[in-house]
Chain A
Amino acid sequence: MKKTTLIAGAISALAAALAFIAKSKQKPAASEAVRAARYRQPRRVLIAGATSAIAQEAAKEFAADGDKLFLIARNAEKLQVVADDLRVRGAAQVETAVLDLTDTDRHAATLDQAAEALDGLDIALIAHGTLSDQAACQQSYALTEQEMRTNFLSVVSLVTLLANRFEAERRGTIAVISSVAGDRGRKSNYVYGAAKAGVTAFLSGVRGRLADAGVTVITIKPGMVDTPMTAHLEKGALFASAESVGQGVYRAIITGREVVYLPRFWWVIMTVIRHVPEFIFKKLNF
């Protein structure tokens, strides 16, 4: 057996063990302390990609708090279903805009529309994205470019506009769903991973820029989540529910944690993965 295979095996075992320990110490969702931290005024929350499973679960938490929501999504029928749901769940106001977020020309107007509808914005959650078909992307630059537009450039456009808006107001929170896939490019998923790595790096810079302006920038890195996006994948023990991840997103936003792995044990796994020497990493089959 090759030496690299042995080392890779040992690393996987270590990661699994650490993940297990971290998982067993997870806190219950939306703890009392977090609930107690609710604002008295309804928060004004913009959600891009509002029909995604994780965004819906996070939005339910804001709705339960009686917040005001502006939802953006591509599919009008889904958007209607989600908007009605959040109204019943207690949102003080729900407004919607149907928009394909790769259409960056319309971002500025849509944000203005949102700010007008909710009478200002406190929080923006950017949750849209697609899980790229790696094999197909490898054969097509055009497809890879499309994925970059969806998962990276559209986020860059939104965050640029939001950063300038919040910087001027000297307040606000921008939270973006990146991914653990952005922590290191893997051969099975590097187009998606590169886009998310771009998002993570971009947010890191924006965070520094806006630190003095009192604007919070949150990078959320979910691991594998059981959602329609991953419906075609075999579910292992590492998969988390959209509900628990969505609640984690909500918790990160209202506590202002800046870089969050969800569930938290992914921090352990990714720390190990980031430190695997390249000569071994390139042989790993995942």
Chain B
Amino acid sequence: MKDFQSWGRYFNYRHEIRRMGWRFSAPAMLADLPASFLPVGLGRSYGDSCLNDGGILLDMTPLNHFLAFDRENGLLRCEAGVSLEEILKIIVPHGWFLSVTPGTKFVTVGGAIANDVHGKNHGHAGTFGMHVTRFELLRSDGTRLLCSPTENADWFRATIGGLGLTGVILWAEFKLKKIESPFIDEEIIKFRNLDEFFEIARESEAGYEHTVSWIDCFAHGDSLGKGVFLRGNNTAAPTTYSYQPPKPQRLAVPFTAPNFALNNYTMRAFNVLYYEKNLRKIVRGTVHYEPFFYPLDAIGQWNRIYGNRGFMQYQCIVPYDDGFRAIRAIIHKIATSGLTPFLNVLKTFGDKKSPGMLSFPRKGVTLAIDFPNQGQATLDLLTEIDRMVLDSGGIAGYPAKDSRMSAEFFKAFFPQWEAFMEFIDPKISSSFWRRVTGNSE
């Protein structure tokens, strides 16, 4: 048994790690695995959706071959363990990009599908799963299902956002996005409060593909929800620069920080500095896609700054209402909680609907917050926010990020969980699924 921690470093579970073999020998391998196992990629989920306490984790990263790349039409087929980083290396020089990318490129294709990840362009492109044209799903009984929107469509829908529970994705094919250059024209705009945020978000909807905001969760009163809005488009004019591979990671957090390193004072200081670093209201520039999409990838093991207690990320989506009352109340709750949120991301989601049964994103405004683990106080606050989100008609408990939601709330937020149960492979299980369905066997 070896230690394997997810990105939040909150759980200390024991697993047996097995490595996936070649694609063609996978059926025999799965047949030999005892229950329960869970296919995992690079383990970038924050909570326990990529953990299987006391069971087997099937490391999918050896499954890292490409199958085909249609350079004219932007269609890529690769094995499930290929990382987005590897894909970018190959597609960007040919003028293609990922249709949807999360905030890190250190995730596998299988993980991106299993969590139906989203990115800064949700309003324009929806989720990762919406660009998947087909994939092969292997069940532990040896059944191989070719799934697409028209073929085995129910399995296609269950597996997108299906948390790896429906079987092992062997390979997937998905559509890429045409780009003229690897650069992004970006604008950074400061906003003084939540009303300004919504104003900028509305006016950015049509003209800017990529939008995201950072907010200062300590600000309240008149400046509640103040922050920095980032928006951008892929640089349209073909640039003369050839593709430059990103510089190798030079910075890394070398050790786990002491638990007191992130406290109310350092967090406040960080939040003030982040807001004030730009003196002007709007800053425009052209940047490479690396710092634009993957700012934190430049710092190796950044999760160590939260100390050995780890951290929890909370993400919720609240529907639009009159005067943005619900989201205002939630931010107010956090700002006055006395706890220490660190990185807070606010973003509007569009109405693009993913085929994924358990897919998380939907229309509304989404808030994602990293909370250093401060024990019961943090858990209590998050349960209170669960209640506020539920009352607003919104949703919380994004499986890629959740570490603590109760079964009661999960079932309320994801009423389709029972229908999904039919698709779960009898030999596959995860700590997350056992927790949120109240089945702790």
Chain A residues with CB under 8 Å of chain B are: 28, 64, 77-78, 81-82, 84-85, 88-90, 228, 231
Contact = CB atoms under 8 A, between A and B. Distances in A.
B248 interface: yes
B252 interface: no
Contact of A88 (B21, B22, B24, B69): B69
B23 interface: yes
A84 B24 CA distance: 14
B67 A90 contact: no
A77 B24 contact: yes
Nearest to B62: A228
Contacts of A84: 65-68
Given A28-B248, A88-B90, A90-B90, A81 B23 contact: yes
- Dominant secondary structure of chain A at its interface with chain B: helix
Given A88-B90, A90-B90, A231-B19, A81 B24 contact: yes
Given A88-B90, A90-B90, A82 B24 contact: no
11 contacts: A28-B248, A77-B22, A77-B24, A78-B24, A84-B65, A84-B66, A88-B66, A88-B67, A88-B69, A88-B76, A89-B90
Interface residues of B, number: 15
Contact of A78 (B22, B89, B248): B22
Interface string B123-134: 000000000000
A64 B78 CA distance: 17
Contacts of A88: 66-69, 76, 78, 90
Given A88-B66, A88-B68, 19 more contacts: A64-B89, A77-B22, A77-B24, A78-B22, A81-B22, A81-B23, A81-B24, A84-B65, A84-B66, A84-B67, A84-B68, A85-B66, A85-B67, A88-B78, A88-B90, A89-B66, A89-B90, A90-B90, A228-B21
A64 B22 CA distance: 22
B90 A82 contact: no
Interface of B: 19, 21-24, 65-69, 76, 78, 89-90, 248
Contacts, number: 30
Q: Could you say which of B22, B68, B76 has the most chain A C-beta atoms within 10 Å of its C-beta?
A: B22
A77 B23 CA distance: 9
Contacts of B66: 84-85, 88-89
A81 B25 CA distance: 12
Contacts of A85: 65-67
A231 B78 CA distance: 24
Contacts of B76: 88
A82 B78 CA distance: 12
A237 B73 CA distance: 45
Q: Could you say which of B24, B65, B68, B90 has the most chain A C-beta atoms within 10 Å of its C-beta?
A: B65
B64 to A, nearest CB: 8
Contacts of A89: 66, 90
Nearest to A31: B248
Q: Could you say which of A64, A81, A88 has the most chain B C-beta atoms within 10 Å of its C-beta?
A: A88
Contacts of B19: 231
Contacts of B78: 88
Contacts of B68: 84, 88
Contacts of A77: 22, 24
Contacts of B90: 88-90
Given A77-B24, A88-B90, A90-B90, A82 B65 contact: yes
A64 to B, nearest CB: 8
Nearest to B87: A88
Nearest to B19: A231
A84 B19 CA distance: 22
A88 B24 CA distance: 19
A64 B245 CA distance: 12
Nearest to B78: A88
A17 to B, nearest CB: 20
Chain A to chain B: the 5 pairs with minimum beta-carbon distance, closest first: A88-B66, A85-B65, A88-B69, A77-B24, A85-B66
A77 B25 CA distance: 10
B61 to A, nearest CB: 11
A64 B89 CA distance: 9
Contacts of A90: 90
A28 B68 CA distance: 29
Contacts of B23: 81
A64 B24 CA distance: 25
A82 B62 CA distance: 13
B124 to A, nearest CB: 27
A250 to B, nearest CB: 15
Contacts of A81: 22-24, 65
Nearest to A81: B65
Nearest to B66: A88
Contacts of A82: 65
